[in-house]
């Protein structure tokens, strides 16, 4: 299955048929720091994604001049 | 995973609340948190026009979306920082958002006000780019609000922003910064408008989920100057703590606001003057914005 990552945008292939949380662990991504998007939906960490699926891991962290944004 | 309220399939889990929600119930949860923030801190009323500072990112556009839906009178303010393609794209997102909802948007370019865009200010001052950028934004937000007779500026700061700022202040024991950290800063001078943060009860992931579910077209790409920013490093540390102990960020920030902040409030207030150059509020004779503009002018001319 394909995983789309952002900043910079890139794609990686990982084994499917397992839970989102297992994929995040393999990629060393903290669940709190991303939205997991499959098609037009958000998916939760316990959801199983299939081999043919594509998920986007969209970062939620923004920053810089934090005290004034 | 099931929605805590209705039992349908959940789209988001909020571990710090030990809950999961379907899309409609999450959107309602989100709006309730904003309502509670506005109510608790008496941020603004329906008779006032709120100047909403928007960057094209998820937080500020999510905030504007909620306030419009709640029936508040709002005007957007986009500050064009002149950061290459990033600013072009983020400005377009704000203009599209405002046009689609039929709400007014004020656009102000930092380069018109200070003589150069943020990338040049960064080179001139040799300070981190976020420093001059933050200073310019705070100054211009206040000035634009005054010029348009709006009593309050609302920004999209979320729980993660506030926890990261607090973390940074505590790490350096900036005790003068601690009393100023608040979801609602009152007007302490006729030329200072109120500043409020109605999203302070919501995490960054929650505002991103809200923006996604509301189909808000926001800029996902990060500001090119944010890479390596200290605030991002602090957010990463806090997110690791949150992962190990859900609710850690909330407890850190809310514990400070409820119990520690009053201890840091100064017994004597700082004397506020009007800048001899521009008339805006400062603790000195010339305000930091005018000093920065002078610095830019000298370097750009030479």
Q: Is the pLDDT of residue B267 over 60?
A: no
Hey, CA dihedral for B180, B188, B41, B217, is it positive or negative? negative
Q: Do B23 and A42 touch (CB under 8 A)?
A: yes
Cβ atoms of residues A2 and A13 within 8 Å: yes
> CA-to-CA distance for A56 and A59, rounded, in angstroms?
9
Cβ atoms of residues B179 and B77 within 8 Å: no
Q: Which helix (H) or strand (E) holds A22?
A: helix A20-26
Q: CA nearest B14 in A: which residue?
A: A32
- Reduced to 3 states (helix: H, G, I; strand: E, B; else coil), residue A53 is coil
Kindly state the average pLDDT of the residues B227-245. 92
Q: Do B205 and A37 touch (CB under 8 A)?
A: no
Domain ranges of chain A: 2-60
Kindly state the average pLDDT of the residues B27-33. 98
Q: Is the pLDDT of residue B233 over 60?
A: yes
Q: What is the mean pLDDT of chain B?
A: 94
A25 touches chain B (CB under 8 A): no
DSSP secondary structure string for all residues of B160-211:
HHHHHHHHHHHHTT-TTTGGG--SEEPP-STT--EEE-TTTTS-HHHHHHHH
Domain ranges of chain B: 36-270
Say what the pLDDT of residue B255 is: 97
Say what the pLDDT of residue B257 is: 96
Taking 3-state DSSP, the helix, strand and coil percentages for chain A, each rounded to the nearest 5, stand at: 20, 35, 45
Cβ atoms of residues B114 and B136 within 8 Å: yes
Which residue of B13, B55, B133 is in closest CB contact with A44?
Answer: B13
Say what the pLDDT of residue A38 is: 95
How far does A58 lie from chain B, in Å, by closest CA?
8
Count of alpha carbons within 13 angstroms of residue B200, beta-carbon side? 30
- Reduced to 3 states (helix: H, G, I; strand: E, B; else coil), residue A34 is strand
* CATH architecture, domain defined by A2-60: Roll (3.10)
How far does B112 lie from chain A, in Å, by closest CA?
20
Say what the pLDDT of residue B264 is: 86
Residues in chain A within 8 Å Cβ distance of B154: none
DSSP secondary structure string for all residues of chain B:
-B-TTT-SB-SEEEGGGTEEE-HHHHHHHHHHHHHHHHHHTT---TTSEEEEEE-SSHHHHHHHHHHHHTT-EEEEEEEE---HHHHHHHHHHHHHHHHHHT--EEEEEHHHHHSS-HHHHHHHH-S-HHHHHHHHHHHHHHHHHHHTT-SEEE----HHHHHHHHHHHHHTT-TTTGGG--SEEPP-STT--EEE-TTTTS-HHHHHHHHHHTT-----SPPTT-TT-HHHHHHHHHHHHHHHSTTHHHHHHHHIIIIIHHHHS-SSPPP-EE-TTT--EESSSS-HHHHHHHHHHHHHH-
Say what the pLDDT of residue B269 is: 66
Which homologous superfamily is B36-270 in? HUPs (3.40.50.620)
Say what the pLDDT of residue A65 is: 46
To which residue do tokens 């309220």 refer?
B5
Say what the pLDDT of residue A67 is: 36
Encode pLDDT of B1-23 as tens digits: 999 999 999 999 999 999 999 99
Cβ atoms of residues B132 and B121 within 8 Å: yes
Encode pLDDT of B136-180 as tens digits: 999 999 999 999 999 999 999 999 999 999 999 999 999 889 999
How far does B191 lie from chain A, in Å, by closest CA?
18
pLDDT band at B266 (very low <50, low <70, confident <90, very high): low
Say what the pLDDT of residue B301 is: 65
Residue from B79, B135, B138, B235 to probe the interface with A (highest A Cβ count within 10 Å): B235
A28 Cβ neighbours under 8 A, 6+ residues apart: none
What's the complex ipTM? 0.91
Task: Give the burial class of B211: count Cβ atoms within 10 A of its Cβ; 0-12 exposed, 13-18 middle, 19 or more buried.
Answer: buried
A39 touches chain B (CB under 8 A): no
How far does B132 lie from chain A, in Å, by closest CA?
9
Which residue of B11, B223, B240 is in closest CB contact with A42?
Answer: B11
> CA-to-CA distance for A26 and B1, rounded, in angstroms?
22
A28 touches chain B (CB under 8 A): no
pTM equals 0.93
Encode pLDDT of A25-68 as tens digits: 999 999 999 999 999 999 999 999 999 999 999 999 886 543 33
Q: Is the pLDDT of residue B97 over 90?
A: yes
pLDDT band at A9 (very low <50, low <70, confident <90, very high): confident
To which residue do tokens 């599209």 refer?
B96
> CA-to-CA distance for A37 and A3, rounded, in angstroms?
10
């Amino acid at each position: 299955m394909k995983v789309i990552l952002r900043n910079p945008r890139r794609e990686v292939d990982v084994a499917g048929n397992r839970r989102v949380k297992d994929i995040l662990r393999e990629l060393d991504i903290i669940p709190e720091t991303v939205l997991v998007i499959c098609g037009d939906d958000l998916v939760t960490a316990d959801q199983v994604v299939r081999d043919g699926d594509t998920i986007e891991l969209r970062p939620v962290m923004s920053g810089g001049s934090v005290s004034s944004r | 995973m099931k929605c805590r309220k209705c039992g349908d399939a959940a789209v988001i889990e909020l571990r710090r609340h030990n809950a999961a929600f379907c899309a409609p119930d999450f959107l309602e949860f989100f709006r309730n948190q904003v309502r509670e923030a506005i109510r608790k801190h008496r941020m603004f009323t329906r008779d006032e026009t709120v100047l909403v500072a928007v960057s094209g990112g998820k937080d500020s556009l999510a905030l504007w979306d909620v306030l419009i839906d709640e029936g508040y009178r709002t005007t957007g303010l986009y500050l064009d920082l002149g950061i290459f393609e990033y600013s072009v794209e983020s400005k377009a997102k704000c203009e599209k958002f405002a046009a689609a909802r039929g709400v007014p948007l004020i656009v102000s370019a930092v380069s018109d006000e200070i003589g150069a865009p943020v990338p040049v200010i960064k080179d001139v001052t040799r300070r981190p780019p976020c420093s001059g950028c933050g200073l310019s934004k705070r100054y211009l937000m206040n000035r634009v609000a005054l010029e348009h007779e709006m009593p309050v500026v609302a920004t999209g700061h979320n729980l993660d922003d506030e926890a990261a700022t607090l973390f940074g202040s505590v790490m350096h024991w900036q005790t003068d910064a601690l009393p100023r950290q608040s979801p609602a800063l009152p007007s302490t001078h006729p030329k200072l408008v109120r500043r409020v943060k109605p999203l302070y009860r919501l995490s960054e992931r929650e505002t991103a989920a809200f923006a996604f579910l509301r189909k808000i077209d926001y800029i996902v790409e990060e500001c090119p100057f944010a890479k390596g920013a200290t605030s991002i490093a602090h957010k990463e540390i806090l997110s690791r703590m949150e992962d190990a102990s859900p609710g850690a960020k909330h407890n850190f920030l809310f514990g400070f606001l409820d119990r520690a902040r009053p201890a840091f409030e100064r017994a004597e207030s700082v004397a506020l003057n009007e800048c001899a150059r521009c008339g805006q509020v400062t603790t000195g004779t010339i305000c930091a914005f005018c000093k920065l503009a002078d610095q830019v002018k000298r370097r750009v001319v030479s």
